[in-house]
Amino acid sequence: MDYNFRQYHYRSINAASEQERAAINQELKELYASLSEEDKADFNRQLQTFLAREMGRLKSDYESIQGGGFCEN
């Protein structure tokens, strides 16, 4: 199964309230709880891959801003 973490991530970013964000997080927790042990392992691998990609993207964005002269440090 392919878990669309980007969809959850964007929904959470664009949540109108903390309650909506909490509901999205709960939805993800319930999905995880419903999985078999084998599927949980796959879920965790996919989540780690997603997080590593997002952190890399953010680092790249930050470095391009720093190197682009947008910050006065």
- Residue 61's pLDDT band (cuts 50, 70, 90): low
Q: CA 64, CA 61: separation in Å to the nearest integer?
A: 5
pLDDT of 65: 79
Q: Which of 5, 61, 67, 1 is nearest to 35 (CA)?
A: 1
Parse the chain into domains and list their residue ranges: 5-67
Residue 5 contacts by C-beta under 8 Å, 6 or more apart in sequence?
A: 46, 47, 50
Percent of the chain with pLDDT over 70: 85
Residue 50 contacts by C-beta under 8 Å, 6 or more apart in sequence?
A: 5, 6, 9
Dump pLDDT digits (tens) for 4-36.
999 999 999 999 999 999 999 999 999 999 999
Q: CA 34, CA 27: separation in Å to the nearest integer?
A: 11
